[in-house]
Amino acid sequence: MEIKKIIFFATPFFLLSACFKKNEKKNNDVAKAEMIAAEISFSTLSQEKGTRKALMEYIDSNGVLLRPNTFPMVGADAVDFISQANDTAYIMVWHPKGGGIAASGELGYSYGIYSVTPKNKDTIMQGTYVNIWKKQQDGKWKLVLDSGNEGIEEGE
């Protein structure tokens, strides 16, 4: 008789728990799609208006830039570095290949391939990147970390 009572009272809790987990996964799928869409918009803005403008638009006020042969640049130092960059001689675009999202739906990462095309040469330089994104209170996604690695061969 006790087992029947336990099953009677526990069943609704198990069903609710399963619904919440399913809903949580759906919410995380939506958050991941929004984050990847922000990544694509970030790249499109870079292609259309320049990397400097794109970074200034998408970096969080406490964002971190990791660049070769320099210490990490954080917050105002990162913004200062970006604002002084000259991006008139090249076009930079990138394409996300994947990513993930935290269970909270508020933090995620994306990774992929970037390409830099100098405007006065027929060369394309490629590399890999990883970005960490944070969802803002207004629902927009901002970069909290931007890093890349130079040097992959065409077609890899």
User: What is residue 26's predicted lDDT score, i.e. its pLDDT?
Assistant: 67
Q: Who's near 44: CB < 8 A, 6+ residues apart?
A: none
Q: What is the DSSP letter of 121?
A: S
What pTM, to 2 d.p., does this model score? 0.80
Q: How far apart are CA 45 and CA 86, in angstroms?
A: 16
Task: Assess whether pLDDT exceeds 80 at residue 23.
Answer: no
Task: Assess whether pLDDT exceeds 60 at residue 6.
Answer: no
Number of structural domains found in the chain:
1
- Distances from the Cα of 45 to the Cα of 30, 58, 93, 132, 143, angstroms: 22, 10, 9, 18, 14
Domain span including residue 10? 2-152
Q: What is the pLDDT of residues 34-75, one digit of tens each?
A: 999 999 999 999 999 999 999 999 999 999 999 988 999 999
CATH number at residue 54: 3.10.450.50
Mean pLDDT of the chain: 86
Count of residues in the chain: 156
61 and 75 Cβ atoms separated by less than 8 Å = yes
Render the burial of 111-125: b for 16+ CB within 10 Å, e for the rest.
bbbbbbeeeeeeeeb
- Distances from the Cα of 114 to the Cα of 4, 9, 130, 155, angstroms: 60, 55, 10, 13
**Segment 71-93 mean pLDDT:** 93
